[in-house]
Chains A and B, each alone.
Chain A
Amino acid sequence: MSWLLFGAAAWLFIAGLWGIVTSAHLVRSVVSLSVVQSATYLVLLGVGYRSGGKAPIVADIATRSKLVDPTVQVLVLTDVVIEATVMALLLALVIQAQRRFGSVDPGDLRILHD
């Protein structure tokens, strides 16, 4: 079952893309984008995992024990927090789009003619 994690990541990536393509509301596209991003977290954490490894914190275990890789956890950790602010920026753009074009349907957005 070791392929399940990477298969799940690929499935979530494509499902999120499908959500973006078939959305009739810009906010729905933004939420599906966050699903796409979380697929990358799964891949990163899956790469760094070691069978039988423990969390990379040696405050209470022996320093010589088998640990999972801490490098990929650093990447995912900062990514999770930054994703929220980038989503906020996208949603601010959605509010601006509604003010300019009057609708939040992606099909109704046109180039401004003035």
Chain B
Amino acid sequence: MSTRARLLVFGLGGVALAAVLALGLGGLPAFGHYHGVYGRRVAQIELGARHATDYVTALNFDLRAFDTLGEEFILFGSVTGVALLLRALREDARHELARTLEEHSFAGASEALRLTALLLIPMLTTLGIYLALHGALTPGGGFQAGVVLAAGPMVILLAGRYLALKQIAPDWILEAADSAGAAAYTLVGLGGLIFSAVFFRNFLGLGTPGQLLSAGMMPVNSAAVAIEVCGAFLLTWTEFLDQSLLVRR
């Protein structure tokens, strides 16, 4: 289809879409006047029923834990797809190329960049662990914590030491972390099934609200998702970077 025909079809379709969107979005309640019942009900019962002070994480990992299971496995599936697609392009000549990697253009990172990277790595790792464990108490949770934890080792790449990153986080560790996180989350749900006859019911002790070990299975779920997301993101990034740095095909 030529460019002009494509633009014409988009013009017609775009006008129709704009009309439908205006109709649909105009029929919503005015901004700021939310009438939903579910949100208010959750806000009333959450603190008493689950001893959690962060309602968003509580919904994510306890009341709607089944949805999070589905989303987690979407993540798992996409990362498997990326690994499948990009590993088919790899050759066995990696070990020869690895020796020439240090002469690569960005291995000459400046001293300031290396010092900043050295300072950033423990800060990012600590922040990630904090976010994962305090998910039920303050803003945080498994998903954010996983991405922040994955950003830590990537700073090693920015300092120009990609081989060091491959030594710290080889493929098998990342795959193990990804799979272990997904499996741990499912096992917690099955534990609810075994001990309380409901899949993903909160069967661990609830504790005092505001303490670290409160809200039952929420910190456990949060930590499992954080490990899985961290492994998934690092695996994706190293797959892409292996493509451009180590493969010659």
Chain B: residues with Cβ within 8 Å of the partner, total of: 59
Q: How far is the CB of A14 from chain B (nearest CB, A)?
A: 6
Cβ-defined contact, A85 with B232, below 8 A: yes
Does B182 sit at the interface, judged by CB under 8 A?
no
C-beta contact mask, A52-77 vs B, less than 8 Å → 1, else 0? 00011111000100011111011001
A50 touches B33 (CB 8 A): yes
Q: A70-B59, A71-B59, A88-B236 are in contact. Are A21 and B7 (CB under 8 A)?
A: yes
Q: Interface code B19-46, partner A: CB below 8 Å = 1, 0 otherwise?
A: 0011001101111111010110011000
In the complex the two chains form, is B31's CB within 8 Å of A81's CB?
A: no
B115 within 8 A of A: no
Known: A78-B60, A82-B74, A86-B78. A6 touches B31 (CB 8 A): yes
Question: Do A58 and B18 contact each other (CB < 8 Å), given the known contacts A48-B36, A85-B232, A93-B85?
Answer: no
> How far is the CB of B11 from the nearest CB of chain A, in Å?
10
Chain B residues within 8 Å of A5, by CB: 31
A51: min CB distance to chain B, Å = 4
* B139 interfacial contact with A, CB 8 Å: yes
A18 at the interface (CB under 8 A from B): yes
Q: Which residues of A contact B28 (CB under 8 A)?
A: 6, 47
Give, as a whole number of angstroms, the nearest-CB distance from A85 to chain B: 4
A30 on interface, CB distance cutoff 8 Å: no
Q: Is B171 an interface residue (CB 8 A)?
A: no
Pairwise interchain contact B78-A88, C-beta atoms closer than 8 A: yes
Of the candidates B47, B68, B229, B236, the one whose C-beta lies within 8 Å of that of A58 is B47
A-B contact count (CB 8 A): 155
Which residues of A from 1 to 29 have beta carbons under 8 Å from B?
2-3, 5-7, 9-10, 13-14, 17-18, 21-22
Select one of B34, B38, B68 contacting A49, CB under 8 A: B34
Give B57-78 interface residues, CB cut-off 8 Å to A.
59-60, 64, 67-68, 71, 74-75, 78
Which A residues touch B31, using CB under 8 A? 2-3, 5-6, 46, 49
B210 engages A59 (CB within 8 Å)? yes
Contact B18 A14 (CB under 8 A): yes
Contact between chains at A71 and B42 (CB < 8 Å): yes
Known: A57-B55, A69-B34. 18 other contacts (CB 8 A): A13-B21, A14-B18, A17-B17, A21-B7, A50-B32, A56-B54, A67-B39, A70-B59, A71-B42, A74-B64, A77-B60, A77-B144, A82-B78, A86-B78, A88-B82, A92-B81, A92-B240, A95-B85
22 A-B pairs with CB atoms under 8 Å apart are A3-B26, A6-B26, A7-B25, A47-B28, A49-B31, A49-B32, A50-B32, A56-B43, A56-B54, A59-B210, A67-B43, A68-B39, A70-B39, A70-B42, A71-B64, A74-B56, A77-B56, A77-B60, A78-B68, A78-B71, A84-B233, A89-B78
